[in-house]
């Protein structure tokens, strides 16, 4: 029995997901209860630490098994055979622990994701895989022959493939939800930028450069919306996955996720471009306000922090 690439795709869970800070300092983030966030982050960090430790143990067991397989694999004496079996068991048990740790990280992410963003009970699927892995542990410990270990290894590979595909799927859904929320915020930003230009024009200020920046911002948002619409349609059909969130066809699932990943990258790229235009707009707006020295309180346009605000006309 040889280690396969299937276990090497147990890459770290998509932990960062993109905070999407493209409008940082320009669009106020949604309020999050500090204490709830702290607790969720502590749970996630604890699971991540377990994941990192399990990965380290797995890599060590894999290396030990690979060396033993080269040294003892061709020997036919009973002692060599038994020693190789034990190292194979250790390798498989560490691989199972590694897979379980990935499930726990994913579970904490799912449980603390935006409410309603995942349209099915992903936790149930995750718990189901955990139960499968626990059963595999028992099989490994009770295995008496090389063939039994090979069969268990094959079964574990199949579970690992499903875990990785479902991890990508669930995290893709969460990321999609965040992108949709930011696009809504982008529409609100567009209104505020137009309002700021209107105030400046009322004071006779040349806003040509600002108008170009707003036009570029709107164009980037438009492109982001176009790619995001395609992404939402793609996730609506979720080829390769059943309605309950489990893998139904490995090949279709991979194709769907790869396509979704490309579209999400395109959307995020355009949103970042839009965010850069807003940041430049704010910088240029500040320069105009400072240079012009707007004195009229009635028509004054204030720039607070990184967010442009306009006072009421009645002031």
Instruction: For 202-252, write each residue's pLDDT tens digit.
Output: 888 889 999 999 999 999 999 999 999 999 999 999 999 999 999 999 999
Whether pLDDT at 18 is above 70: no
Which has the higher per-residue pLDDT, 292 or 11?
292
Q: What is the pLDDT of residues 38-57, one digit of tens each?
A: 666 677 677 778 888 888 88
pLDDT of residue 54: 85
Whether pLDDT at 87 is above 80: yes
Q: Using CA atoms, how far apart are residues 283 and 226, in angstroms rounded to an integer?
A: 28
Band (286; pLDDT cuts 50, 70, 90): confident
Q: Using CA atoms, how far apart are residues 213 and 140, in angstroms rounded to an integer?
A: 63
CA 40 to centroid of chain Cα atoms: 16
pLDDT of residue 109: 84
Whether pLDDT at 16 is above 80: no
Which has the higher per-residue pLDDT, 172 or 6?
172
**Considering all CA atoms of the chain, what is the largest pairwise distance in Å, rounded to the nearest integer?**
96
Structure tokens given for 206: 């040349």
Q: Do the Cβ atoms of 244 and 121 come closer than 8 Å?
A: yes
pLDDT of residue 134: 96
Mean pLDDT taken over the chain: 80
pLDDT of residue 68: 81
Q: Do the Cβ atoms of 122 and 112 come closer than 8 Å?
A: no
**Helices assigned H by DSSP within the chain:** 5-8, 34-72, 78-111, 122-142, 146-202, 208-237, 250-292
Whether pLDDT at 143 is above 90: yes
The pLDDT of 151-174, averaged and rounded, is 93
Q: Using CA atoms, how far apart are residues 275 and 72, in angstroms rounded to an integer?
A: 59
Structure tokens given for 315: 């002031």
Q: Tell me what percent of the residues of the chain surpass a pLDDT of 70.
A: 78
Q: Using CA atoms, how far apart are residues 102 and 12, in angstroms rounded to an integer?
A: 8
pLDDT of residue 2: 53
Give the other-Cβ count within 10 Å of 272's Cβ: 17
Q: Using CA atoms, how far apart are residues 302 and 138, in angstroms rounded to an integer?
A: 67
* Pairing of β 307-309 and β 302-304: antiparallel
For 12, 44, 45, 110, 153, the CA distances from 50, given in Å and listed in that order, are 12, 10, 9, 17, 23
Which has the higher per-residue pLDDT, 177 or 16?
177
Q: Do the Cβ atoms of 136 and 96 come closer than 8 Å?
A: yes
| Dihedral sign, Cα of residue 198, residue 199, residue 205, residue 207 | negative
pTM: 0.77
DSSP state letter for 112: T
Q: Using CA atoms, how far apart are residues 179 and 86, in angstroms rounded to an integer?
A: 48
Q: Using CA atoms, how far apart are residues 85 and 193, in angstroms rounded to an integer?
A: 68
Q: Do the Cβ atoms of 285 and 194 come closer than 8 Å?
A: no
């Amino acid at each position: 029995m040889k280690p396969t690439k299937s276990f090497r795709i147990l890459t770290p869970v998509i932990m960062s997901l993109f905070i999407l800070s493209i409008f940082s300092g320009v669009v106020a983030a949604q309020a999050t209860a500090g204490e709830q966030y702290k607790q969720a982050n502590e749970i996630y960090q604890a699971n991540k630490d377990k994941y990192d430790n399990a990965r380290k143990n797995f890599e060590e067991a894999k290396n030990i098994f690979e060396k033993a397989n080269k040294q003892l694999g061709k020997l036919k004496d009973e002692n060599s055979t038994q020693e190789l079996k034990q190292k194979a068991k250790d390798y498989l048990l560490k691989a199972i622990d590694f897979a379980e740790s990935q499930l726990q990280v994913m579970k904490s992410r799912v449980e603390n994701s935006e409410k309603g963003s995942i349209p099915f009970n992903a936790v149930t699927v995750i718990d189901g895989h955990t139960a499968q892995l626990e059963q595999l542990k028992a099989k490994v410990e009770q295995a008496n022959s090389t063939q039994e270990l090979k069969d268990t290894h094959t079964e574990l590979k199949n579970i690992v493939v499903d875990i990785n595909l479902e991890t990508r799927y669930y995290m893709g859904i969460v990321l999609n939800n965040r992108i949709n929320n930011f696009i809504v915020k982008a529409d609100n930003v567009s209104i505020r930028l137009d309002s700021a230009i209107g105030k400046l024009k009322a004071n006779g200020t040349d806003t040509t450069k600002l108008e170009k920046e707003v036009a570029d911002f709107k164009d980037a948002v438009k492109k982001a919306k176009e790619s995001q619409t395609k992404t939402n349609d793609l996730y609506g059909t979720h080829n390769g996955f059943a309605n309950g969130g489990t893998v139904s066809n490995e090949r279709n699932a991979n194709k769907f996720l790869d396509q979704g990943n490309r579209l999400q990258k395109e959307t995020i790229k355009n949103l970042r471009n839009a965010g850069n235009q807003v940041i430049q707009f704010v910088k240029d707006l500040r320069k105009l306000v400072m240079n012009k020295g707007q004195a009229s309180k009635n028509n004054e346009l204030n720039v607070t922090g990184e967010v442009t605000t306009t006072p009421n006309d009645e002031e």
